[in-house]
Structure 1
Amino acid sequence: MNSEFHKSSYSGASSECVEVSEGTVTLIRDTKSPRAAMLSFPTREWIALLSDIDAL
């Protein structure tokens, strides 16, 4: 089961960002359209992406 959606602490008070729900798969949605289509990634791919970004 996935966790509730949350946005990055870097977003501050801005309502224009993406939210992430982590669990068996990682879901990503737009905060302006939370009921619209979401992106879905296998958790290991999401972790690999975050690791690659952190390495930059």
Structure 2
Amino acid sequence: MADTQENTAAETVDEDVKARKEREKNELYALDISGVEWHSAPGTEEHEERVEIAYLPDGAVAMRSSLDPETVLRYTEAEWTAFVLGARDGEFDLEPTEHNGGLAAE
């Protein structure tokens, strides 16, 4: 019986977390970001393909490609922090291949 109650409580918490995250996402995408200032990595030129980010309220971040500025992804502060920390830890490092600037296949 205790296991059933624990499972039900855990499921309720999971549902609450999912609902909160959905609400946060909806609020984030409802923001008018037409006047935000977009930033790119230092040393990139205006005509170069690059990733651009804009800082939003409450630590959120918007990200877009300079080649497709109308498509904007938005991340909550927690999502952005997790991404940045993962990138710093090498979680997104690519194995060198011919397609990503590595050595040509032999």
TM-score by length of 1: 0.71
**RMSD over aligned Cα atoms:** 2.3
CA distance in 1, matches of 2:77, 2:53: 12
Counterpart of 1:54 in structure 2 is 88
* One-letter identity of the residue aligned with 2:79: E
TM-score by length of 2: 0.42
Unaligned runs of 5+ in 2: 1-32, 91-106
Q: Which has the higher helix share?
A: 2
How many residue pairs match? The answer is 54
Identity %: 21
CA distance in 2, matches of 1:42, 1:23: 9
Deviation track 1:1-55 (CA, whole Å, cap 9, x = no partner) reads x75110112x633610110012222101111232x12101102210111011112
Q: Which has the higher strand share?
A: 1
Q: Which has the higher contact order (CA 8 A, sep 6+)?
A: 1
* One-letter identity of the residue aligned with 2:49: E
Secondary structure of the residue that 1:4 maps to in structure 2? coil
Unaligned runs of 5+ in 1: none
* One-letter identity of the residue aligned with 1:38: V
CA distance in 1, matches of 2:72, 2:56: 14
Runs of 4+ in 1 over 2 A off after TM superposition: 11-14
Does 1:27 find its partner at 2:59? no
Are the counterparts in 2 of residues 22 and 43 from structure 1 also a CA contact under 8 Å?
A: no
